[in-house]
Amino acid sequence: MALTADSTPATGPDPAPAVRKGRRRLRTFSRGDKVILSLMVGIPLLYEAVLVWLPALLSVGLSFTNARLDITQPGGVKLVGLSNYRFIAQDYPPFMPALEHNLIWLLFLTLIATPLGLFIAVLLDFNLRGSWLYQSVFFIPVMLSLALVGIIWQLMYSSDSGLINSVLGTAGQPGAVDWFGNSKINLWAALIATSWKHVGYIMILYLAGLKGVDPTLKEAAAIDGATAAQTFFRVVFPAMRPINIIVIVITVIEALRAFDIVYIINRGTNGLELVSALVVQNLIGEGTNIGVGAALATVLLVVSLVPITIYLGRTFRKEMR
């Protein structure tokens, strides 16, 4: 990067007779240029194919095999049909709770955290005095890793010295609530910790979206006597349709990708089972069973492809025409 030449004025003598506007076709290239262009696309493409798409397909493949600790296991890897799927559906107790928790995760983010982020963005968009200060406060958690968020909230939640139990006067007492340890409530405690970050993320996206809405729309609505709420729901929110869809997709994908925070808390056990965590439990440590892990990963892949397809379809639809 340091080699970057100074931005030599890119305006040639005169690009005037650009009758044939638009981008160039490949056939106008010299051979050397073709080779270089192929390399520029080919190397990253190969990289991406080998490290992302091949493993994704291999996960599907491995899910139909009896691979346990290694693909070079004695006796070889054999196809076993759907038996890994039958196992996770029938004989693997954490699977159903994990699906349920992923769904709760999704609903919580969609119905509570994301709307809260939007609401805060709307209030900040009023350009109140000191709004940069509020903005910074909501913004800081966005910069932190979810692993670190888990550690920080542990200091809030711990039963013997956490802030919440200290305020309640129960810290270290028998009546103390172990927010991350009690399997009846730890999912909600983890969701609150996650939302601490998610709300700020959504706020940033919507702040940009709101700034992009033509202010004369709002002024016109105000002149017509609309209240702030009416202006928002009837004028501003519909005008942000593209960003709304992206925010929904991001929220769904975040819910499917949730992993770090539950893994930091208790590796995704005891009330915090998530499909992603079960995949890892089947790949690391004593219980290693590649086939089962791959079957769980395939379930996650199939579910993930729904929001990804919607997102890509929307994003690239215009260009496909």
**Interactions with another protein, residue window 242-261 (CB under 8 A):** 242-243, 245-247, 250, 253, 256-257, 259-260
Closest CA to 190 of 140, 145, 149: 149
Q: Which residues on neighbouring strands pair with residue 65, listed in sequence order?
A: 79
Q: Which stretch binds another protein (CB under 8 A): 79-87, 92-100, 161-169, 176-184?
A: 161-169
By CB under 8 A, residue 310 contacts another protein: no
80 near another protein (CB under 8 A): no
Binding flag, residue 234, another protein (CB under 8 A): no
Q: What are the CB-based long-range contacts (under 8 Å, 24+) for 54-58?
A: 56/301
Q: Does 48 bind another protein (CB under 8 A)?
A: yes
22 touches another protein by CB under 8 A = yes
Sole residue written with tokens 């209240």 = 227
* 264 closest CA partner among 180, 159, 161, 139: 180
CB of 96 to another protein, least distance (A): 18
Residue range at the interface with another protein (CB under 8 A); choices 28-36, 80-88, 91-99, 106-114:
28-36
| Structure token digits, residue 301 | 């892949």
Angle at 103 between CA 102 and CA 107, to 5 degrees: 120
3-state DSSP assignment of residue 45: helix
CA distances from 299 to 56, 126, 292 (A): 12, 44, 11
Where in 273-302 is the site for another protein (CB under 8 A)?
A: 275-276, 279-280, 283-284, 290, 293-294, 297-298, 300-301
Does 314 participate in binding another protein (rule CB under 8 A)? Answer: yes
Binder of another protein out of 83, 110, 166, 270 (CB under 8 A): 166
Q: Is 137 in the site for another protein (CB under 8 A)?
A: yes
